[in-house]
Structure formats: structure tokens, C-alpha cells
Structure 1
Amino acid sequence: MGIEIQQDHFRTVDYGLFKARLQQNLTALEMVLSRPGFGLGETTIGTELEMFLVDREARPVPIGPEIASAEASPMITPEMGAFDIELSTQAVPLAGRPFSALREQMRATAEAIRLRAAARGARVVPVSILPTFQRQDFNPGTITNLPRYRALAAGLTRLRKAPFHIRIDGAEPLELMSDDPAMEAANTAFQVHLRAAPDAFARLFNAAMMMTAPVLAASGNSPIFLGHRLWHETRVAVFKQAGDDRPPDPDTDWKKPARIGFGTGWVRDGAAELFMESVALHEPILPVCCDEDVLACARAGGVPQLHELRLHHGTVWNWNRPVYDPAGDGHLRIELRALPSGPTLDDMLANGSFLLGGILALAPAVSELLPSFPFGLAARNFYHAAQFGLDAELVWPTAPGAPPRGIRARDLLLSLLPQVEEGLLAAGVDGAEARRFLEIFERRVARGVTGAVWQLRTLEAMEARGAPRAEALRRMLERYMAEVDSGQPVHAWAIPGAGAT
């Protein structure tokens, strides 16, 4: 999805040629996906983890590109924000002990980043929004000085034709305007990729759309932005609004779907319709063409690169999205993008294990549930989960043809645990492996202590002692980093009392 480009200025003719190439790509994609045997193979999963870099004062420090360049590893890449950095893992088989294998990859790569950062007087923080951010941290200089990110920022600004408006309700509502999309860099995530055969894609994707909300409710890790207490996963609101390319138009009752959003409806047939939707609804931002004859390649039985389609689709940031990967014989994946960064590797992998198990358990019967579960309810669940965490009231289907019911996220998650474990076991995940990570998730839910809850309670304790908000946030983040280093999952972290320092 992160295809590199070497230019950031484009002509009108470039956009016209790119749009024509997109249509050819879509035709070639349909040909490839209809080919018997395409994309079949072992079910695998992989991950991406974005993190922040901070200095000795727990403030963001813009050395992400420097560290990525020094490490020179394809597994370590810069992000849109110069104070962000991303690590990736190789895909592993879902059967066996996948989460332990991913954990070791993530641990080793994160340690390499940590050592590079330490040599520059910096530290690495896995948290989905840095609590110590200040308004002055976001400006055009925030954006990593690479052609891809310069072009993304310029393209969003060109299409927006107005300042970016961020408005978030919460305990301490926030409203501000920005002339650039630099606040996209305020958000980091833990993303999971699930390989999906074309004939199973629709069922798996729709199950993912249903399961994302309850898992997000137990995963929130960004309750504070610019000193304001907002949502349990404020990243959802910030990211959507910071990159909203739709011009404000008070004279129309209809607006096209946001470039960053939950989606527009259930998948009816397969992955191709989601790629078609992104082309139809969203203007190109990076119109860089290649010279591949995609139609000739597809007709000859080859696996086309579909450079233009992959590049364009990588600029449409739905919370779950399809990935076409031409590597080897080619395959499809579902990129699960809603989970936050942090707090610990075990917390993140526990989130991923529950989400994957839930998807696999729900997928076989999901088509029977959809007629009585409108897509709007899944979208509502998603935003309620982001805002209210484990206390969110979600709506959940009860049986095919039966009306859905309201249920608190915490109760829903605990009731789903047996099915989730069965989903993992049926996919070949080792029983002890599944139980290890699901137990971490279960204990967090039962105790009601997510990363967001811990941050809010710790901030309250720091302020009760008399620390001003900025200093209380710094102390809270220092404590957070120390707890991450302990390796204990967040539900086991101590929540300091009023006498904490």
C-alpha cells in the first residue's frame, strides 16, 4: 500500500491519464479475480505497527526518516509525520503459534528502532495519540520530507479548498481549524493483515466490519488530544477530520463519503466492488503511471502489478480495506486498520487475536445475519465504541431474521469469547497460543482497564496532586513508558493514587 513515488508535482494531463489507467486496472483486476485458483493458498497474517518518537521531555522529536534511513531495513519505514515510524512483519501461517511468531518479529524490530532512537537521545512510544502533543507540533514542517508525503499533503489541500475543520465532542470538547493536513500525523495504529481467498472475501470482510466495533471498544488508547479529554479512541475522530478532502458546501444536502471512514455498505460479491468504489468516489491524489500493459498481462494468464490501482487505493483510508498483492502468484488480503498502537505487544496481539477469531467464527453465517442488521448499525457501533469504550452500548444481531438488540460492549465481548476461541482453533491455531492471548483480552475487559481508562485515571491522579495539565500529561506519559517497558499488559498496570509522583 505504501508504494514509493519520486515526484510531487503533477499536470492536468497526468490526472487524465491516471484515471484512464485506473479503468484498465479495474478490468484487469476482474479478469484476475475470476480466474480459477487465483489467490488460493495457506491462510496467513501479518502486522504493521506505527509508533511515536519523543525526547527526554516526552515531547515529539522529528527523527523518524533519519532512523529509517540509518537502519536501512524494508521492515522499518518513515510515516507521514516526521516524529512517527513504522515497523512491519513478515506474514506467518495462521495455523500453529502465529501470535508468538509475530511478537518475536515485532520485538526484535522495535528493539532495533529503540537502539537507533536512544543513540539520538530519543525514545519510542507505542500509543495511538501522543498525550503530550501541543498545537504548535502540527504545521507543514511536521510532514515527512519525501515525495509521497509532500504529494499527499498537497493533494488533500488542493481537493479540500478550505481549512481542515476538527471538531470533537467529549468531556472537554475541542474545535480548531488547520490550513494543512498535518494532524493526520497525530495518529498511529496497529494494523493486521488477513489473507483471504477471493470466494471467501465477502464473508470475511463483512464479518470484519461487524467485529471491528466491539474489539475497538476494548482497545481504546487515545483519550487525550491537545490537552483535551475526548473519546476513548480519539484517533478515529482526528484521523477522519484531519484528512477530509471534501470541500465544505453548505448549499447541498448530500456529500460524497469521506476518504477516511468506516465504509458505505456490506460487500455483496467480492473485493472488486470495493476497488471500484474507491475509484468512483475519490479523486486521484498521486497520479503516477507506469508502462505495464495490465490487460495484456491478465489475458496472458499473468499477475499484473496494477500499480495505479494500488497507488490510488492506498490513498483511501477506510478502517477496513482490501489489498491486492501481486507478489508471487498474487493474492488478496483484508487490512484491519482500526486497532490502536499500544500499549504493549501482548495487548496489541490480544486485540488482534480476538478480532481474527471473531471474524473467522462469524464469517460462515454472516450472510444470514445481514438482512436484519443494516450496515448503518455497524457504522454506529464503530463510532460509539471509539467514543465510549467498554461502556458503549452496541447493537448486535441475535439470530437470522430476528431484530438486533442493544448490549453493553463489555458484556458482548465476554459473551463472544467462546465463539472467538472456537474460530481460532478451527483455523488451526494452537490451543495454548489462543488461550494465552485471549486471556489477556478477557482480563482487560473484565477489569474494565483499557489503555484509555488507565491514561484518564492516571491523569486524574496527577492533577489531584496539583500538577498543571501539561505537567500531569508529561508525568502520565513517563509512567506509561515505564509500564510498557515492564512488559505487563495494561490491565495489570498500577493506577497511581492521589499521592503518586
Structure 2
Amino acid sequence: MGEEVGSRSYTREQRRRYREKVREDLDVFERMLGGTAFEFDRPLTGLEIELNLVDEDLEPAFRNAEVLAEIADPEYQTELAQYNIELNVAPRPLPGRAALELEEDLRASLNAADAKAWRTGARIVAIGILPTLRPEHYRRPWISDNNRYTALNDSIFVARGEDIRLEIEGPTGERVSTWSDSIAPESACTSVQLHLQVAPGEFAAHWNAAQALAAPQLALGANSPYFFGRRLHAETRIALFTQATDTRPVELRNQGVRPRVFFGERWITSIFDLFEENVRYFPALLAECSDEDPAAALRAGLAPELSELRLHNGTVYRWNRPVYDVVAGRPHLRVENRVLPAGPTIADVLANAAFYYGAGRVLARQERPVWTRMSFAACAENFDRAARDGIDARLYWPGFGEVGADELVLRHLLPLAHEGLRDWGVAPEVVERYLGIVEGRCVSGVNGAVWQTRAVAHFERHGADRPTALRRMLAAYAGHMDGNAPVHTWPVP
């Protein structure tokens, strides 16, 4: 959810002071990269899963405060809309059988949370975009009771000066074309965030590798084909999130001003490139200042919190985000991978994670890395194609030319993922379980988006209108989700 803030609006003086503090933090961060001891001796992985709440009719249940009170577990937190919550998983090492233990823990945690949620008349569903959402759901109070979200909403609309235009067209001509007077549609986009702690000198290689992998990840994991009742992109979440948080009126877009949801525009040589770019190009949305003197803290041998820089960084929505954090007095750096949608099952989520961590490890350590042989423009085009076409996307890769995403993964990236997980010291049975799921998706051509689309088409062929077909599909989806069998094995109803 990001850290809470104390205010819902800010004065011009607060914004001026905040800009000064962000620049002070950036200067101190640059000095730290030149000599501070960052924590990376035992690299950790982390996981966040954003979730939807639905009622007995499988429509959004706007009661996250009640649900969280019932769950009463600090790992579950609020999210943007009242029908969203988030599960935060404590960081842990990757080697050995840790992933199998994590799968068991997560499934048990979600089962317990779902049972408690049901006491309020809600149940939990992990899906990229809740397919039963309709425009009228946002005509009621929808935003969570949280200063951060209210301030973000207000700041985005002050920056834009006008309502947000949503314009997305699917492969069969179905489209959403509408205006929104709030960032409510952003709340439709629920994701899985994968964290990897890295050393400062290795950050650029890991971020570049994550950028190159983003398109294959998205093609394999697409799970968001429906929004407002229309069949749109395989991973509609990408276009929707980009448009729903756009601070630019059309004139600034025409000038080439960067969007707040940002894939990037170049390969990097240091994590500083990203933080400096964020400060240079993106105005503040929130302006919360701390009392910390970061330079004094650094001189005293302490790890500065750099609260203003971290807050600003959290409002630039890169699909692979750089993270600076301090835990138990030790600073560390992470790559936060934000590409993937939520769901369909915990097994699928961990298969996606295994593929990312394994293939990314090898790509980051190659003598002649992929980003020296592929233009960044080609990488960005891959990302757009994967979002639009999912597992059917054709992607460019050096040495292969333009190739189907499934073939690229089977012939090249999956072997790299096997190698990378072995290098991590991951147990063979873990590697086979999760990468076997990835292979199964490629061979069958079925991921979450494909299954959803086929299920809706089945119900429509048997006489259901679109809203009924979506509800029936979601009911079947939720049952399979609870069973935890990988999505490529699910039968079409």
C-alpha cells in the first residue's frame, strides 16, 4: 500500500520544502553508493499479493475495513479501494525447499483469511482485474480511508486539470471508451510484486535483466482480459494502470512528457540513474517532510531513512522499481518487479516467481548481456506486445529474431531459469515443480487470460449474456483458485 502520510493536501510552502528535502536525500544517496556498507550478504526475496473482495453475487465487496478487522493479521493491509486488500509476505532466502514451504504457508494463510472474510459477507479472489466490475460501482464511496490515497487522487487531478480518459480496444474490436473523475479505475489493477535484494554494484545488471524479462513474464502470466464487461488486452492491467494514473493532459503527452506509469527509456549503469531520473522528471504528488537531516545522520555513521526520496520514488510507477530501505539500522537495495497480475493460484504465482528469479540471475551475470544486443526500444515494444497479446505474442530476442513468446521461453529462457535456480541452491524438486508449471503453460498455450476468455465464450455459446457469463466464469475461477491446481490444467466449464 505504501507508507501512510499525515496530510490529505499540501501548501505551496510544504511542496517547496519537500522538493528541497528530496534533492538533499538524493545527494546523500549518491554519497552512500560510493562507500556505505549495504546489506546484501544473504540476498532475500520478498512477495506482495494484491487481492479483491467479492460478495455473494461475485461483485466487488466494498468492506475492506471490516474484513481486515476480522483477519487481524499485520500481513494483510489496506489497498486503494474498499474492495482491495494486500498480503505482504516476510522476506526469506530462496535456496533449498523454501518455496515449497512458502506455498504451503500462503495457501494456509489465504484459507484462514478467506474464512474470516466470509463472516463479513466477503470472499477473497486473486485475479488481475475483477471481471464483474462495472462503471456504476465507482458511483458510490469507493476509496479506502487512508490519507495517502486521498492525497494521491487529489494531486493527480490537480496536475491534470481535467478528467481522465480511458481508451482501450481488444483484439475483437470490443473497447472501453470513457472518462473518469477519479483514479478509481486504478484500483481494478491488482498485481504480484516480487522483490530481490541486490548489492549496489550489481543493481544495474539485475534491473536491466528484469526489464528484458518483463515481456516474457507478462506473456506467460497474463490474467486480466476483462474490464467493465469488455474483452480487451490479455493483460489489460498495463494499459489501464497507465491511463488511470496519468497526470498529463493531452498537450503534455503531445510534448513527450513522461507518464507516471513508466517502463523507462534506456538501459542503466547504476541505481542512481533511476532515482536521479525520478527527481529530475516527475513533480511531487505527495509532500510529506520528515525532521531528518540525512547528511548529519550519515556523518554520525547511521543509515539515513531518506524518507522524502523514498516517498517520491513510491509515486513513480515503474514496472521494475528501484527500492532503498533501512531494516534494523542497515540499508539495502531491492529490485521490485511489478509486472505480474495477481493469481490465478498460489502455485502459479510461485511458478512465475521461480521463472523470474532463475532466468534473471543468469541474464544479469552473462558476459555479453542481452541489453548490449537489444535496443531499449525493442524491449519496450516487446512489453507492449506481451500486454496486448499475452501468450500468443511475438517478441524480438537477440539470436532468435521475432519469435512466439512460448517458443522463446521453451527454447531459451526456461533452460536459463533452470540454471539460475540451481545456482541459487534451490532444491531440485522445487525447480521441477514450478518450472514444470511454466513449461505446461507454454506447451498447452493456456494462462489465466486464455482460460478466462475460453470460459466466458463457453457460457455465451450456451445462452448466457456477458454479465452472466462473467459471473459464472468467476465462480468457476474461484473454485479452481482454492484448489491450487495450476491454471493450464483447469478444464473449461
Structure 1: tracts of 5 or more residues without a match: 399-403, 497-501
What pairs with 1:96-107 in structure 2 (closer than 5 Å)?
A: 96-107=96-107
> Which residue is 2:340 aligned to?
339
The aligned amino acid for 1:485 is D
Q: Secondary structure at 1:90's aligned position in 2?
A: strand
Cross-structure match for 2:394:
393
* Match of residue 242 from structure 1: 244
1:377 alignment partner, SS class: helix
Q: Distance in 2 between matches of 1:182 and 1:10?
A: 21
Structure 1 residues 389, 22: closer, same or farther in 2, change over 3 A?
A: same
Give the SS at the match of 1:466.
coil
Q: Which residue does the alignment assign to 2:40?
A: 40
The secondary structure found in structure 2 opposite 1:37 is coil
Provide, for residues 84-104 of structure 1, a one-character-per-residue CA deviation record: whole Å limited to 9, x for no partner.
000011111122123223323
Match of 2:205 in 1: 203
Change (3 A) 1:69 1:160: farther
1:36 Cα deviation after fit: 5.0
- How far is 1:470 from its partner? 0.6
Distance verdict in 2 for CA 1:196–1:367, change over 3 Å: farther
Distance 1:67 1:32 in 2: 42
1:413 aligns with 2:414: no
1:473 paired residue number: 470
Query: Hey, what does 2:456 align to over in structure 1?
Result: 459
- 2:191 corresponds to: 189
1:108-127 alignment, distance < 5 Å: 108-127=108-127
Instruction: Give 3-state SS (helix, strand or coil) of 1:420's partner.
Output: helix
- Cα distance in structure 2, aligned partners of 1:315 and 1:74: 23
Kindly report the root-mean-square deviation, in angstroms, between the aligned alpha carbons of the 2 structures. Answer: 1.5
Q: Distance in 2 between matches of 1:124 and 1:417?
A: 32
Change in 2 beyond 3 A, CA 1:368/1:341: closer
Residue 494 (structure 1) aligns with: 491
Deviation at 1:116, TM superposition (A): 2.3
Query: How many percent of aligned residue pairs carry the same amino acid?
Result: 39
Q: Deviations over 1:64-111 (max 9, x none)?
A: 132224434331101001100000111111221232233234223323
User: SS of the counterpart of 2:48?
Assistant: strand
The 1:316–1:343 alpha-carbon spacing in structure 2 relative to 1, beyond 3 Å, is: same
| Contact 1:47 1:102 survives alignment (8 Å) | no
Distance of 1:304 and 1:104 partners within structure 2? 37
- Amino acid across the alignment from 2:384: Y
TM-score by length of 1: 0.95
For residues 368 and 337 of structure 1, do their structure 2 counterparts lie closer, same or farther at Cα, with a shift above 3 Å needed? closer
Contact 1:444–1:450 (CA<8 Å) still a contact in 2?
A: yes
2:66 touches 2:120 (CA, 8 Å); kept in 1? no
User: What is the match of residue 401 of structure 1?
Assistant: none
Q: Equivalents in 2 of 1:255, 1:162: separation in Å?
A: 19
Amino acid at match of 1:9: S
TM-superposed CA distance for 1:139, in Å, is 4.3
**Structure 2 letter corresponding to 1:94:** L
| Residues 1:276 and 2:276 are matched in the alignment | yes
Q: What stretches of structure 1 move > 6 A for 4+ residues in a row? A: none
Equivalent residue number for residue 169 of structure 2: 169
After TM superposition, the score normalised by the length of structure 2 is: 0.96
Residues 451-472 of structure 1: CA deviation (Å, up to 9, x unaligned): 1101101100100011111111
Q: Distance in 2 between matches of 1:117 and 1:70?
A: 7
Match of 1:330, SS?
A: strand
| Superposed counterparts of 1:19-34, under 5 Å | 19-34=19-34
User: How many residues are treated as equivalent by the alignment?
Assistant: 489
> CA 1:346–1:368 in 2, change beyond 3 Å: closer, same or farther?
closer
- Indicate conservation of the 8 Å contact 2:71/2:117, yes or no: no
- Give 5+ residue unaligned stretches, structure 2: none
